[in-house]
């Protein structure tokens, strides 16, 4: 009878939300989409001969691309933001 009671009693989760592999999932999902969009927009700026906007766009794309391609930068940024907000 004790085992039936044990099975019917809901258990509280032992930890928080499991985010293991979230950064890898985001990287593999958004990175190819990001590269496709950057390529199309860069070609548009080149064909319309807007060199200043092209350079600005490429610099912005490189900065955003670092987020997707540098290992562990999402985790480091999330921990830094959480620490700044006082969340442990």
What is the C-alpha to C-alpha distance for residues 15 and 25, in angstroms, rounded to an integer?
Answer: 21
DSSP 3-state of 29: helix
The answer to whether 42 and 61 have CB atoms below 8 angstroms apart is yes
- What tens digit of pLDDT does each residue of 18-47 get? 777 777 787 788 878 888 988 899 899 888
pTM of the model: 0.52
Tell me how far CA of residue 9 lies from CA of 1, 17, 61, in angstroms: 13, 21, 52
Residue carrying structure tokens 């990175």? 31
């Amino acid at each position: 009878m004790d085992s039936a009671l044990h099975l019917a009693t809901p258990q509280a989760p032992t930890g928080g939300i499991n985010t293991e592999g979230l950064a890898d999932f985001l990287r593999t999902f958004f990175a190819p989409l990001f590269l496709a969009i950057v390529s199309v927009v860069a070609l548009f700026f080149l064909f319309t001969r807007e060199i200043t906007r092209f350079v600005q766009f490429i610099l912005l794309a490189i900065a955003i691309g670092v987020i997707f391609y540098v290992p562990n930068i999402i985790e480091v940024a999330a921990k830094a933001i959480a620490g700044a907000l006082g969340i442990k």
